[in-house]
Amino acid sequence: MNQISVSEIELILSQWVESTRNDAKDDILANHLPQAVIFDVLAPLQHEGTVAYRKSFDEWQPPFEIPCLFELKELNVVAEEEVGFAHCLINCGGRLPDGKEIRDTVRATFCFIKKDGAWQFAHHHVSSPMAVGG
């Protein structure tokens, strides 16, 4: 494992968290490859590229007070020279304009590649477990 690469990926994730927490929509995808494939908790099932994902933000993002709750827990990063991945839990939510609070915990996996000397998200997947049965 390359500790320098791990630290660099942790920094990229930290920037992503801060952008998300502060609803800085134009910065959230700053370190994603344009062709990144993104799976998120809400529909659609898959976003092909950052342009498609960015277009969806206003359709589903709740109008939380800023900064909202968005924090990584149990982060585990593994990286070599040009490929890395991470997984964690994300505590997310916030206060809506009517005062109601929403809180959730989701799971996330991230795949990174180093391109032109910089780490970039090639894929990220955020999901929530589904109860099966009755």
The DSSP bridge partners found for residue 73 are 89
**Amino acid 130: pLDDT:** 82
Q: HEC profile for 23-59?
A: CCHHHHCCCEEEEEEEECCCCCCCEECHHHHHHHHHH
CA distance 9 to 117: 12
pLDDT tens digit string along 80-132? Answer: 999 999 999 999 999 999 999 999 999 999 999 999 999 999 999 999 988 78
Sketch out the chain's domains with CATH numbers: 3-127 (3.10.450.50)
- pTM, 2 dp: 0.92
pLDDT averaged over the chain? 92
**Amino acid 131: pLDDT:** 79
pLDDT tens digit string along 17-61? Answer: 999 999 998 899 999 999 999 999 877 889 999 998 888 877 767
Identity (one letter) of the amino acid at 3? Q
Strand ranges (DSSP E) for 1-134? 32-39, 47-48, 69-79, 83-95, 101-115, 118-127
CA distance 1 to 84: 9
CA distance 72 to 42: 19
**Amino acid 134: pLDDT:** 62
